[in-house]
């Protein structure tokens, strides 16, 4: 029988990385003389949408202009943001309550588990290693592992196959519209967590299931893929 597989998003799903992401963006703005333009609490949802989204928000607040001008600033600063983030990647980041125990239970029940994230692969590997949980996951596919990223289906398919599973018996655990669109593109069920900045607002994305706490992951997964 083909191995059932659970694939997790990283930022906003396995770990609250927003504090370190916001700090990296603000480091860029400070170097430019603008001070801290982003708030670690109010702008947490933007952090989970990626580095470019954070930079875009900050430059828009500055009134840097629209369209090409803002995007040019974003393109210029993005490498600096990545460097700042890598230098201090786990100062504020914490795993969500119960996630390690939940992953261990899945493994013990015979499920394969992996990660599919839009964080660059090297940064994801570094973060999961520093958090002490990299060995729990049989695969890790990042934004630059393949030529495409989520919501393109290829990274998800690769994450499943590298974990030793098959796509038809897999499920995606995520927290954003990108994850929901990925599951639709692949044709697999999605579970969206409600403990991120969007809370139960993710219900509007019509996932196959919602997850309020990792204590409930086992029965949610069983209900979707057996």
Which sequence positions are flagged as catalytic? 9
Q: Which residue has the tokens 């974990």?
A: 163
For residues 213 and 211, give the distance between their C-alpha atoms in angstroms, rounded to a whole number: 6
Measured on CA atoms in the order 17, 23, 27, 32, is the torsion positive or negative?
positive
| CA–CA distances in Å: residue 215 to residues 17, 103, 114, 122, 136 | 21, 10, 19, 29, 17
The C-alpha angle with vertex 57 and arms to 84 and 149, in degrees rounded to 5, equals: 70
Q: Is the peptide bond before 151 cis (omega within 30 degrees of 0)?
A: yes
Residue 48 region by backbone torsions, left for phi larger than 0, else alpha for psi between -120 and 50, else beta: alpha
121, 145 contact by CB (below 8 A): yes
55, 72 contact by CB (below 8 A): no
218 CB burial (10 A radius; 0-12, 13-18, 19+): middle
For residues 78 and 49, give the distance between their C-alpha atoms in angstroms, rounded to a whole number: 14
């Amino acid at each position: 029988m083909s191995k059932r597989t659970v694939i997790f998003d990283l930022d906003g799903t396995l770990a609250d990385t927003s504090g370190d992401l916001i700090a990296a963006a603000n480091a860029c703005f400070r170097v430019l003389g603008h001070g801290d333009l982003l708030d670690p609490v109010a702008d947490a949802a933007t952090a989970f949408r990626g580095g470019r989204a954070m930079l875009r928000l900050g430059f828009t607040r500055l009134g840097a202009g629209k369209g090409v001008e803002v995007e040019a600033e974003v393109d210029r600063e993005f490498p600096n943001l990545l460097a700042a983030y890598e230098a201090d990647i786990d100062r504020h980041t914490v795993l969500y309550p119960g996630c390690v125990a939940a992953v261990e239970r899945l493994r013990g029940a015979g499920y394969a588990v992996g990660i599919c994230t839009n964080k660059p692969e090297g940064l994801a590997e570094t973060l999961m290693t520093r958090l002490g949980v990299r060995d729990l996951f049989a695969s890790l596919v990042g934004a630059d592992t393949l030529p495409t990223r989520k919501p393109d289906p290829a990274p998800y398919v690769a994450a499943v196959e590298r974990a030793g599973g098959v796509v038809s018996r897999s499920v995606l655990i995520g927290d954003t519209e990108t994850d929901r669109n990925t599951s639709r593109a692949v044709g697999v069920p999605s579970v969206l967590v409600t403990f991120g900045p969007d809370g139960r607002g993710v219900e509007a994305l019509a996932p196959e299931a919602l997850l309020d706490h990792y204590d409930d992951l086992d029965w949610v997964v069983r209900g979707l893929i057996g």
